Amino acid sequence: MLADGDPDGKAELDARFTDLYRRHLRDVYSYSYYRVGNHHDAEDLTEQTFLQAYRHFERALRESDGRPLRPWLIRIAHNLAANFYRDRSRRPESAIEDAGLISAPHTTEALVEGREELKGILEGVARLPDDRREALIMRFALGMDNREIARALGRTDGATKVLLHRAIRQLEGMVSETVDSKDD
């Protein structure tokens, strides 16, 4: 399995990395997009994530003990996104138009209400503390389970469960405050 100058080992390692890349490209890109809020920067972060992963892939295989490598990839993307913000000192900007097309027909009123609700949720997520925002993105945008999130964030399963619970409650509070203030 290890390359160490063996051409067959290097080819196998490259094939395994290609498989990892194909299986997790969408997840890494989605995570990066939710973190930085625009496609160009998300593509850059995704590329940097896989370049860094490739450099350390052999060691990751040895140390993974057969566990999935998706949390490891998301951890790399997480660290690169943190560096991105530290280096550029800016907040993510996400246009509501980038949220995607709605496939089912809706009335104009329902569409406007849905966009307003989505806008409020995205604004609330952006205002959450970093660790809570990260956990929500991993859980709901990437569909990661608590154990994967714990590994990606370097936390225990219990601490991750508490983090997610608090993030959801805080976000619900923010969204209900927004709704209440509009009703006044």
| C-alpha to C-alpha distances, 124 to 36, 127, 177, nearest whole angstrom | 15, 5, 10
Q: Please, which pLDDT band fits residue 103 given cuts at 50, 70 and 90?
A: very low
Poorest-confidence range of 15-24, 66-75, 122-131?
Answer: 122-131
Q: Please, which pLDDT band fits residue 97 given cuts at 50, 70 and 90?
A: very low
Poorest-confidence range of 49-63, 71-85, 111-125?
Answer: 111-125
Nearest to 161 by CA among 144, 175, 176: 144
Q: What is the mean pLDDT of residues 146-153?
A: 90
Nearest to 35 by CA among 73, 100, 105, 84: 84
Q: What is the pLDDT of residue 101?
A: 46
Q: Are 149 and 135 in contact (CB under 8 A)?
A: yes
Per the prediction, the chain carries an average pLDDT of: 81
Q: What is the pLDDT of residue 2?
A: 53
Between 109 and 104, the more confident residue is 109
Q: Please, which pLDDT band fits residue 8 given cuts at 50, 70 and 90?
A: confident
- For 49-62, how does the pLDDT look when each residue is reduced to its tens digit (9 = 90+)? 999 999 999 999 99
Q: What is the mean pLDDT of residues 90-117?
A: 53
Q: What is the pLDDT of residue 26?
A: 94
Q: What is the pLDDT of residue 113?
A: 59
Domains of the chain are 1-91 (1.10.1740.10), 106-184 (1.10.10.10)
- For 24-37, how does the pLDDT look when each residue is reduced to its tens digit (9 = 90+)? 999 999 999 988 88
Q: Please, which pLDDT band fits residue 141 given cuts at 50, 70 and 90?
A: confident
Q: Which residues contact 78 (CB under 8 A, 6 or more apart)?
A: 31, 35, 134, 152, 153
